[in-house]
Amino acid sequence: MTGAAETDYRRGAWHPEDHFIDGAWTPSIGTGRIDVVDPATGETWGSAPVAAPEDVEAAMRAARRAFDEGPWPRMAPSERAEVLRRFAAEIEARADALSATNTRENGSPVAETAGAAANAAGILRYFAGLAGHLEREDVRPFPSGAGESVVRRDPLGVCALIAPWNFPINLVVIKLAPALLAGNTVVIKPASPTPLSIRHIVEAARAAGVPAGVVNLVTGNGRTGDAMVRHPLVDKVAFTGSTEVGRRIAAACGELLRPVTLELGGKSAAILLDDVDLDAFAGVFVRSCMRNSGQTCYISTRILAPRSRYEEIVARITEVVAGAPQGDPFDPATVFGPVANRAQYESVLAHLASAREEGARFATGGDPLPGPGLFIAPTVLADVAPGMRVAREEIFGPVVTIQPYRTVDEAVGIANSTPFGLGGIVFSADEERAFGIAERVDSGSVGVNFFASNHAAPFGGRHDSGLGVEYGVEGLEQYVSFKSIHRAARR
């Protein structure tokens, strides 16, 4: 596993001692280091600096100067859109190095990370296509006819973008693209286990001509993120990660009256109706229910199966999971890689231990694999009861649970019985029937016979799964401040 990622690192192309501030790689004032460990091998292969308060301050001041004095917010949205399109092309030119770095950081199989650059570029191009939404003349008459209002969409200012470790590229870009199109400036902090792959994105932004100070990057730990959230120069916070951390960020932003978007945890359910086509279901099962070795927020890891076909469904899911290749994430055939980091590995094992203690049936998997990597055999837990820990908590590893139900009403009730509301799927041979049941699922997004994110449709969680949305024109409007200018009606 040497590849492009290690080659770039040995050449120093990532400036591993530096943060990216005001258009240049800048030596860190902070002396602490973050070790980057390959979860497939246990090898420490890179590092990044832990930002000191002075580093965060420098990044914030650079972003503020770029917003207050620089050209970016004063460009027409269509001009910014052209820069975003160049940015997309620069990301695509770095696709191989980006994929290799991502895989070495968190163990995501290359079958997953090979598409990261194309997806990031697609997000940038989609939002570039929304420039007209910001430029259109939005005039709204008074209902009384006494006048009219011109509605403006102004940029917010400096945005703090804080990303997780499971998709370290695209969960930044889905924040970065609308923030930039709207005319904001940003400071990015990646998750501490994955501080290197995002550097390819920063280099692509610079190569595309994004002005100095518009995009800044600092690396660090939770204290770094907290300093960003509470920094007085920040006008907006966007965070993807755990519900626990999201609550703390929401509390801080509430205290500061600061806009915030939170995309948090999930415990989504896949409802299989009694007429489900198991061949079609098997073809999309891993992508919909165990994507990225189960380390995806919206996947439907709770399988709800009708009692009339319960054992048939358990057997088919077990066959699919047991037959999916696990191992070297650099092998294009690999479906299941390692768990991304030691803390998450221990958390998954603790959940599996609780399943044994509480009486779940292990249809396949359930054990750590020997060797230096953080591998856990992909696991299917059958006969799971609603009160079990694995039925209530987000596991975030290669584990699915299967619960039986007697009626569709009971299945919908189980699906809606968690404090989360992020994803969900209904599988049925009758799409109209499935659509009607999908409307009853209390979640921000629900699929019919598959699940995928649509760049043009809002994605966000309900309840403990977050606040606000990403994607779509609704995601763009999370990064603007509305102003109404009232005037007498024109004659």
Angle subtended at Cα 50 by Cα 44 and Cα 53, rounded to the nearest 5 degrees: 175
> Of the listed 159, 297, 394, 477, which one is catalytic?
297
Mention every residue, 6+ apart, whose C-beta is less than 8 A from residue 194: 36, 102, 105, 106, 165, 168
Query: Six-digit token pair at 53?
Result: 């308060």
Taking residue 3's Cβ as centre, other Cβ atoms within 10 Å add up to: 16
| CA distance readout (Å), 413 to 406, 431, 441, 447 | 11, 20, 9, 17
Q: Say how far apart CA 324 and CA 43 lie, in whole Å.
A: 25
Active site residue 431: no
Nearest to residue 18, comparing CAs of 8, 10, 9, 28? 28
- Exposed, middle or buried: residue 368 (CB in 10 Å: 0-12, 13-18, 19+)? middle
Q: Say how far apart CA 383 and CA 44 lie, in whole Å.
A: 40
Query: Six-digit token pair at 105?
Result: 């950081």
Q: Do 21 and 216 form a contact (C-beta atoms < 8 A)? A: yes
Mention every residue, 6+ apart, whose C-beta is less than 8 A from residue 370: none
> Of the listed 105, 112, 203, 263, which one is catalytic?
263
Query: Six-digit token pair at 179?
Result: 């923030």
Angle subtended at Cα 14 by Cα 180 and Cα 333, rounded to the nearest 5 degrees: 90
Active site residue 263: yes
Q: Say how far apart CA 50 and CA 60 lie, in whole Å.
A: 16
Taking residue 146's Cβ as centre, other Cβ atoms within 10 Å add up to: 10
Nearest to residue 94, comparing CAs of 178, 162, 8, 176? 8
| CA distance readout (Å), 286 to 113, 140, 292, 336 | 16, 48, 9, 10
Q: Say how far apart CA 29 and CA 50 lie, in whole Å.
A: 9
Q: Do 289 and 303 form a contact (C-beta atoms < 8 A)? A: yes
**Hey, which residues are catalytic here?**
263, 297
